[in-house]
Structure 1
Amino acid sequence: MGSTLMATTSILLSSGLAAVISSTYSVKKPLNDAVYGAHGEFMVALKYVTLLTLFLFSFFCHSLSIRFINQVNILINTPQDPMSLVTPEYISEILERGFILNTVGNRLFYGALPILLWIFGPVLVFLCTITMVPVLYNLDVVFTSANKGKMINANQNRDFV
C-alpha cells in the first residue's frame, strides 16, 4: 500500500509539474521573485526538469516494486515441486528486489523535496536538508532493546521467507 500511495503521489506531482512547465500563463514569474537564488530562464528550467525527472524515476521504482511484491503474493502460494523453477530462494530474491525498489523510490521522492524547495530559493533547501538528515538517519538505523542499545543497520536486519 505504501508503494501504491507513493507511486500515485509521484505521478500526480509529475503531472502537475508538467502542466506548470508547459503552461503559457506566467505562473513561474512569482516563483522567480522568491528569497534568493538564480532567476535566469536556464536555472528555472533546470530546477523544473530535475524535479520532474526525480518524480518520474520515483514513480518508476514504486511501480516496479508493486509488480515484484504482487508476483511474490502469487508465487508464494504455488505448491512445492522438485522440478519447479519456483523455489523459496527465488521468491525471497523477488521479494528483496521489491523492497529495494521501494527503498530507492522513497529515497528519490525524499530527495525531490529539497529540489522542490530549490524553486523558492536556497535558504529553504538548506533548512529542508538539515531537517531531512535526522529523518533519513532514523529510517536507516534501528535501535533495539534486545541488543541493549546496539545500533543495527536497517538493511542488515532483514529476514526473508
Structure 2
Amino acid sequence: MEWKKCYLDLILVPLGVLITTGYHLWLWYSTRTRPHSTIIGINASGRRNWVAAMMKDNDQKNILAVQSLRNTIMCSTLMATTSILLSSGLAALISSTYSVKKPLNETVYGAHGEFIVALKYVTLLTIFLFSFFCHSLSIRFINQVNILINIPQDPMSLVTPEYVNEILEKGFILNTVGNRLFHGALPLVLWIFGPVLVFLCFLIMVAVLYNLDFVVNSGKRKMDVNKNRDYA
C-alpha cells in the first residue's frame, strides 16, 4: 500500500484533537464529582461565597463588586476582540486569490493540496468565531450580574444570591470555554507548517493545562486540616 502525504494529517491532527477533547471531558467529570481537586471547582466555590458576601453587605462593598466584575468584562472583551480580529484576517486570507502554500510545499510534511489548505484556514476561522461567540455571551451574563448584585435584599425578591451566582457561573463557564477554544486553535495554527507540530503542541498543551487545572495536593492538605482539627 502506497504511503501518501495526507495520511499524516488524517492520523496526527485528529489524534491530537481527540487527546485534548478527552482531557477536557475528564476535567469536566472531575469538576462535577471532585470539585475541590480542580482549580475550576475551587474558584466556583469561592465565587459563590463572594456573591453572598457582596450582597449581604452591599452598602459597603458595592464599589468593590462593580470593579471586580468590570475587570472580568475587560478580559472577556479583549479575548472577544482578538478572536474576531483573527477571524476577519482569516476570512480575508481565504477570500484572497493569493496562494500562501507554495513557499512551504517542499519543506513541510503532510498534504499540500488546495482542499487541505482551505480546510486548515476554515477550521481556524470556525474555532475563533465560536470563541468570539462564547466571550460575547460571557460579557452579556456578567453585565447582568453587575446590575443584579447591587439590588437591595428583599425577602420577596426573585433576585437572590443563588440566582445571581447562577448567572455569574454561566458567564464564567462561557469565558472558560471561549478561552479553551482560543487556546485549542493555537496548535492548529501550526498545522500550516505540518501535522507533526500540531500533535506535539497538543501534547505539550495538555501537560501544561493539567498542571494549571488540577490541585495535586488538595487531598493531602485536606487530611492535614482534619488532623489539626482532631488535635485541637
Q: CA deviation at 1:145?
A: 7.4
Q: Which residue of 2 aligns with 1:11?
A: 84
User: Relative to structure 1, is the Cα distance of residues 138 and 4 closer, same or farther in structure 2, using a 3 angstrom cutoff?
Assistant: farther
Q: Is the 8 A contact 2:101 2:112 kept in 1?
A: no
Q: Is the 8 A contact 2:135 2:175 kept in 1?
A: yes
1:31-89 deviations in Å (ceiling 9; x for gaps): 55541111111111111111100000001001111111111111100111233221111
Q: Which one of 204, 210, 213 corresponds to residue 137 of structure 1? A: 210
1:144-155 map, 5 Å: 147-148=220-221
Q: Is the 8 A contact 2:139 2:171 kept in 1?
A: yes
For 1:144 and 1:73, locate their aligned partners in 2 and report how far apart those are by CA, in whole Å.
35
Give the TM-score, by structure 1 length.
0.83
For 1:32 and 1:17, locate their aligned partners in 2 and report how far apart those are by CA, in whole Å.
20
Q: Which one of 116, 140, 146 corresponds to residue 43 of structure 1? A: 116
User: Relative to structure 1, is the Cα distance of residues 127 and 146 closer, same or farther in structure 2, using a 3 angstrom cutoff?
Assistant: closer
For 1:9 and 1:98, locate their aligned partners in 2 and report how far apart those are by CA, in whole Å.
18
Q: CA deviation at 1:3?
A: 1.5
Q: CA deviation at 1:20?
A: 0.7
| RCO comparison, higher one (Cα < 8 Å, 6+) | 2
1:3-152 map, 5 Å: 3-143=76-216, 147-148=220-221
For 2:105 and 2:149, locate their aligned partners in 1 and report how far apart those are by CA, in whole Å.
52
Give the TM-score, by structure 2 length.
0.59
2:203 match: secondary structure? helix
Q: CA deviation at 1:30?
A: 2.9
Amino acid at match of 1:13: L
For 1:33 and 1:94, locate their aligned partners in 2 and report how far apart those are by CA, in whole Å.
52
For 1:43 and 1:145, locate their aligned partners in 2 and report how far apart those are by CA, in whole Å.
45
Amino acid at match of 1:96: E
Q: CA deviation at 1:16?
A: 0.8
**Which structure's residues are more often helix, by fraction?**
2
- Calculate percent identity across the aligned residue pairs: 83
Q: Is the 8 A contact 1:143 1:149 kept in 2?
A: no
1:66-122 deviations in Å (ceiling 9; x for gaps): 111111111100111233221111101001001110111111111111211112101
* Cα RMSD (Å): 2.1
Count of residue pairs the alignment pairs up: 150
For 2:124 and 2:97, locate their aligned partners in 1 and report how far apart those are by CA, in whole Å.
19
